[in-house]
Structure 1
């Protein structure tokens, strides 16, 4: 995996995907251990996600696709 691959922070992903309404809600849910990344509980809201990572919350799974605007 290349270090130049585009990434998005977990809290930003949750907001962008419409999973949570605010950054504050993202922080609470992540720090409470409610969010899994690639089937592992993730409590770091600044966790960097790459395309292909899977985010699981409330028994729903989202596959991350990070794109870069030119």
Structure 2
């Protein structure tokens, strides 16, 4: 039998923020910027920023 050498792909909707943008969100939140200003800076919605904040709030930063 031949092994499957294809690269696994993510199933579903692609993420709306890149890992770099997520790191930027976390940094700006710590600095005290508002959700609306972060959303405008990253050209995304407030809901995306709120969801990202909630999703990554318990994870340690990579410093």
Q: Could you say which structure has the larger radius of gyration?
A: 2
Higher relative contact order (CA 8 A, sep 6+): 1
TM norm. shorter chain > 0.5: no
What TM-score, normalized by structure 1, do the two folds share?
0.29
**TM-score after normalising by structure 2:** 0.32
More helix by share: 2
